[in-house]
């Protein structure tokens, strides 16, 4: 592997805490507003997840998100490798049923970040073998945000996965202010809380809440 690309990615991914995933269907103020507010609050990683817009609209919006994130946050596109390539995003996040990691790597190159959704220890170990740069583990708790997510696996499973791989583990699924501390205490490097942030009237405040909580618990 290109050592320069590897070390660049590793050092960037070590810095993440709160991970913003956009959702235009849930957002009160719109995707671009959410990204701006989150990045201004110190969010260091943004995933553009959009299922309802045309490719043209997505490319336009992704270009704008890239501009907002430039030099301040990692910018990934969910699933759509064509959109990521079109705007030269920092990488992609893909699911178990999306394009295989090896194919995505061939298209994107060694220097781009690839995150893979996993549900358990075995999938996480395989993700590492296939060359993913981090895993998105979940759903940790039951969630209404993603209809096909399945039942929550519980925060104790995070430690199991964390002990089995060297990659950063991002926890996702049903995470909110009431249960987020257990997620970090059980070893997650970062977490996603979609509805708690994008449904809020004050995205800056909510993002800051999660960043402070994560940093506090990582130090403890």
Distance CA 42, CA 84 (A): 23
Domain spanning 17-219: CATH superfamily: Aldolase class I (3.20.20.70)
Distance CA 94, CA 104 (A): 9
Distance CA 194, CA 145 (A): 8
Q: Which residue has the tokens 């994107």?
A: 108
Residue 98 among known ligand-binding residues: yes
Residue 51 among known ligand-binding residues: yes
Whats the size of the chain, residue-wise? 220
Instruction: State the first-to-last Cα distance of the chain, in angstroms, to the nearest integer.
Output: 35
Distance CA 165, CA 186 (A): 14
Residue 1 banded pLDDT, cuts 50, 70, 90 = very low
Q: What's the maximum distance between 2 C-alpha atoms anywhere in the chain?
A: 46
DSSP 3-state of 18 = strand
- Would you kindly state where each structural domain of the chain is located, as residue ranges? 17-219
Please, what is the Cα angle at 67 between 180 and 61, to 5 degrees? 80
Residue 55 among known ligand-binding residues: no
pLDDT digits over 126-174, tens only? 999 999 999 999 999 998 766 666 799 999 999 999 999 999 999 999 9
- Burial class of residue 98, CB neighbours in 10 A (0-12, 13-18, 19+): middle
pLDDT digits over 182-215, tens only? 999 999 999 999 999 999 999 999 999 999 999 9
Residue 146 is predicted with a pLDDT of 66
Residue 48 among known ligand-binding residues: yes
6 DSSP assignment:
H
Q: Is the pLDDT of residue 91 over 90?
A: yes
Which residues are the active-site residues?
Answer: 49, 117, 146
Residue 4 is predicted with a pLDDT of 55
Residue 56 among known ligand-binding residues: no
Q: What is the mean pLDDT of the chain?
A: 95
Distance CA 123, CA 116 (A): 9
Percentage of the chain beyond pLDDT 70 is 95
* Structure token pair of residue 204: 């800056």
Residue 50 among known ligand-binding residues: yes
Residue 134 among known ligand-binding residues: no
- Tell me how many helices (H) and strands (E) the chain has: 10, 8
179 DSSP assignment:
T
């Amino acid at each position: 592997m290109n050592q320069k690309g590897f070390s660049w990615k590793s050092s960037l991914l070590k810095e993440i805490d709160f991970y913003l995933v956009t959702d235009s269907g849930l957002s009160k103020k719109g995707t671009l507003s959410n990204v701006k507010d989150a990045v201004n609050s110190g969010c260091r990683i943004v995933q553009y997840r959009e299922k309802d817009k045309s490719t043209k609209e997505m490319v336009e919006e992704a270009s704008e998100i890239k501009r907002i994130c430039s030099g301040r946050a990692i910018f990934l596109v969910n699933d759509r490798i064509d959109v990521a390539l079109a705007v030269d995003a920092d990488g992609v996040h893909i699911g178990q049923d999306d394009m295989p990691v090896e194919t995505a790597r061939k298209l994107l190159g060694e220097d781009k970040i690839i995150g893979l959704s996993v549900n358990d220890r075995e999938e996480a170990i395989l993700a590492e073998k296939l060359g993913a740069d981090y895993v998105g583990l979940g759903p940790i708790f039951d969630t209404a945000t993603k209809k096909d997510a399945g039942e929550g696996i519980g925060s104790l499973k995070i430690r199991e996965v964390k002990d089995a791989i060297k990659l950063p583990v991002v926890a996702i699924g049903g995470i909110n202010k009431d249960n987020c501390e257990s997620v970090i205490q059980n070893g997650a490097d970062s977490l996603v809380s979609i509805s708690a942030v994008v449904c809020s009237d004050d995205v800056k405040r909510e993002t800051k809440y999660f960043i402070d909580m994560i940093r506090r618990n990582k130090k403890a």
